[in-house]
Structure 1
Amino acid sequence: MAREKSRNRISAKKTPPGAAPAITALEAEERYRALFECPLCAVYIHDLKGNFIDANETALRMFGYTKRDIPSLSIASILDQEQLPVARKRIADIIQSGAASDSYRYRVKTKHGELLWMEVVSTLIHRNGEPYAIQGMAWNVTEQINTRQALKKSEEQYKTMLETMNEGMCVLDRNGTVTFVNDCFCRMTAYRKEELLGRNVAVILDRENEKILRNQWSLRKKGGTDPYEIILTRKDGEKVDTIVAPRPIFDDTGAFAGSLGIFTDVSKLKRTERELLSYQERLRSLALEMSMVEERERRYIAIELQDNLNRALSYFGEKLKELQDIASPNEARTSLDEMASLVEQAMHYVKTLTHEFTTQILHEKGLEAALKWLGSNFQELHSINFHFKDDMKPKPLSDETNILLYQAVRELFMNIVRHAHAKNVTVSFERDYKYLRIHVHDDGIGFDVSKVLAYTKNKEMFGLFSIYERLKYLGGHVDFESGPEQGTLFTLVAPIKFPGRK
């Protein structure tokens, strides 16, 4: 009894309080088996030549095999052939070092031919103090690898796209500092990347365009993405006209973090546009000069008609009158009367033609009087009632403007006669400080405004187009309102001539 108590005391001393009790071989085997059958990863054992000895259910299920297949499997039957030499070398290294290996990724083929990426950690197993086999634990990282490869490919494609695109790209942080530019943007500005990165974007802007960027910056902070135009200053000082497609950048908290811009070089387009505008100005000037030449020729022809043909007809009429006074036979007198009537008609026609060829009244009495005379002629010839309103304010105009307005109103009168079927036309004269406004309003059938706007496709509208272009050159313009069965209102606007100003 005393010896039994003594053994108990001795046993208690061998197991200090709080220490884990010693485990039996059976318990160790059970724990190892539980770890081996872990469902979270594939666990396998193969001999030192790479022939498989055992594998857990997770490994078998992952690769499509059964327990019966294990004796026929080796690393050569499941590994990618390119990786087989690497695997054999790692086995040799593990045997030589006697230690576990770092993780390594293998491309493994399943029973059904599917390729999986596995991350493997291997450990050397000893038996009787000698290397016996290698145990491995493997995790399927195929999805992770594929995602990473897809991301890398996408990044490479994105980078290639950025560097080969025909538009410049520039990214700025919240302070306007350049954080990225592509090759096209560098060519556009003649700067190298290292000369732009880390610098404020103001280095490529003049003062006027800095103001444009500041205004746009405030819009970016509000999320605005509307395109805008800005002029960049190259390193050599040349200007580059661009159109920018902007995109604001916000961080994860929603705070403004900067802006991305795609820059399209439109310098050639702008140069062409400026040349076209210059050509248009020259054409307007030429059209106005042609009008003045036409007017001078008209006056010359009218003077010739008045001074020569009308004088000759007048002289001929006087001689006929003398013959009428001395003629006695009735037949002769009748013939002379007919001839005198024809001469009188010819003289009236020459007088009318002279007025049509020239605007003598325009030069003698001014635009208002000339247009009233023109309206009375149209009223007499075409049975249309013309009404005139004048604010009676002085309306000093240059000779070119006087002639152009007269020709324009005459063109409008002709259009009313040809197309409007109007019964009444009202012409109003108004002057404000800088401009004269002539309103021509008829009560005719009107027209579709869209057809007038498409004047380039309508020959009948060329006269209106000519008026518009010539008035525009002089600093004026034409407005009009119309609609089917609503009549038409044309407003001609021309600048007043101030003393001392050209």
Structure 2
Amino acid sequence: MTFALRLKIISLLSFTLLVIVTALLAWSSRELTLAERNHLVADKIQSTVFNRATMRDEYFLFGIERARQQWFSMNDAAIHLLAQGAQQFDGTEEQGLVRARLALAESVQISKRLVEQMRRVPVADPAAAHHDEFASRLYSQIMLSDSALQREAVSLQQYARDRFQSASNRMIYLTLLLVILMALVTILNSAFLNGVLHRRMAAIKRGAEVIASGDLNSGIEVEGNDELSELARLFNSVTCQIRDYTQALHDSEKRYRMQLQELANIYTHTPVGLFAVDRDLRFLRLNEHLARLNGKSICEHVGRTVDEVLAPELVVHLKELWRPILERGECVRDVELQGRVGPAEKDQRYWLASYQPLLSEAGEVSGLMGVVLDITERKVAEEMLAGARQHLEEEVQQRTAKLQLTNEHLIQEIEIRKKVEVELLAQQQKLQDMSLDLAMAEERERDRIASELHDQVGQRLILAKIKLDALASGIPAGECECEAAAVGTLVQQTIQDIRSLTFQIRPPLLASAGLEAALRWLGEELHADFGLEAEFCDDGKDKTLPYEIRSTVFQAVRELMLNVIKHAGTLRCRVVLSRSDGGLVIAVDDDGVGYRNEQDAAETRSGGFGLANVRQKIQHLGGSFSVTSKETGGTVATIKVPLGS
């Protein structure tokens, strides 16, 4: 499953969960709003009922007309509020409203009769009307009805208050559930993707390290069908092709060496003289047999012209004989020569020679080679060996033809070997370029992961933290406040972890301010975390690098500074940046315990990056990495990377 499909599935599940919880929140919000309206209506009903009872007692006890008017006005208000409540309340509230309306209607009817009775009583003082026996009975009935109405109003208010509190608690719980679920989904999503990417990248890294070490029989472990797995399969295919090319080249080189050895044996042990000269007639090569024929050593021949080695009479004849070979590329076979090799020699000597041109890669004549056979003795004994002369000439011709074929075959093999060497160099360069592209792909993938962690996961967690804080501020003290604080702490810690991971994978200063500023920021971070005192020195020259190379160099320097903390036995180091010979040079110098040799450093000072990995990554960039131990104690690690033009 590809990463894109994984992200689509996770996003769909998260959206579905968000829609469900949002629907629950909308329903809870509606219930809370309705409960709040009911609670307000119930409060108004209770207030009106109790104020009505106060006006009733004031009118009955003192006979004040104003109290009567307010009493009957409140009767109308109570009837209106109960009617309004009947439209909003349901269930148990609706039954209480029915009882309250009945009690109010009964109280209103009796109130009207009480007012008429008090007006018919002929009393000089209206305040004394309550002493009438019939009015007292009516008042008692009103009090009973109003008491029932007040009980129903109190019960209605308590039910509305309980319903409002229940809706408010439900709203709080659903909001907390939404925050917790979103945080949990985000954390699980990040952990899952991080685990998958870590496994894939670790497998690619291990396989690339093995292949970079020269073991072409190994490959990258392939797992799954995602984009990184396809890249690993492609890399394995290219590695197999390079391995086949390398094996073929080794076989060709072996055959080439065998043929060179055969050619050397021919030059050494052949019973004829062999030589080669250039267009200036300087000896390029000859065998020992020809040197003996000429009476001089091989060293006295090589680099000298035929004029300096042979007799003048013989040289004139040879130049005439060699002219068609050098000018037109013709071959001269089985030519008999005679003369004296040197001026001190008295006897004539006879030779049988064959000559053929030496051709360059462009097909031009660059010299000639010859086969010379001394036939002096044969000439002397020619009269006695007349019968065997024909046989001897045939044998010489056969040997000459065989040697010529051998020489032509060797020339062809040499051309083939040169072409194979060119192909090998091209394949090696291609492998180096692919290794560099793989390292750059790793840096770009780290950059993409850091960007997604910062722009998506981090921003969502911050939004969740803000909403959680806002919700926690509105919760009264109690268990919910403790749980909200704990969840807030967990979200804040997650935000810090994501920020720390993002800064480790892709420091923002590395892209915006450059490598020097990023290294100074790294020194401050290591000082805060481990107490490392890092001193930075910069020559101030321009040191522009592409971002991928900057990221690789930054990680390498970070590994070297961490090695100082872990293994150097000191918490002080110096980082020197300079530009030299068109390249960036970074030296990390400490005054710690040092080490015996670089192998020990590779074994004992291994960190998350590792000195061996540092060397390989820097070499892939076309640079170099070295670690040396100072005589006064301590270590100097130097990184050199070529700068762009």
Greater relative CO (CA pairs within 8 A, separation 6+): 2
The interval holding the TM-score normalised by the smaller chain is 0.3 to 0.5
Q: Max radius of gyration: which structure?
A: 2
If the length of structure 2 is used for normalisation, what is the TM-score? 0.35
TM-score by length of 1: 0.44
